[in-house]
Amino acid sequence: MSRGEARAATARLRQRLVEDWVELVRLYEGGAHLALGYASWADYYTAEFGEARSEGYKKLRCGRVVSRLSLRTETEGIKRAHALAFDACESEEEWNHLIEVVERAGGFSEVSGADVERELSALRRAEEFPVVPNELPTNRRCPKCAYAWREAS
Domain ranges for the chain: 1-71, 79-153
Ramachandran sector of residue 107 (left: φ over 0; alpha: ψ -120 to 50; beta: rest): left
pLDDT given for residue 138 in this prediction? 46
Helices of type H across 3-134: 3-29, 32-35, 41-49, 53-69, 80-87, 92-105, 113-128
The number of beta carbons lying within 10 Å of the beta carbon of residue 63 is: 23
- Check residue 72 and report its DSSP letter: T
pLDDT by 10s per residue, the chain, length 153: 999 999 899 888 888 888 999 999 999 999 999 999 999 999 999 999 999 999 999 999 999 999 998 888 888 889 889 998 889 888 888 888 889 888 988 888 888 888 888 888 888 887 666 555 555 444 555 656 655 555 554
Rounded to 5 degrees, what angle do the CA atoms 140, 94, 99 make? 100
Predicted pLDDT of residue 18: 86
**Nearest Cα residue to 151 out of 135, 133, 139, 134:** 139
At 23 the pLDDT is 95
Residue 137: the pLDDT is 46
- What pTM was estimated for this model as a whole? 0.73
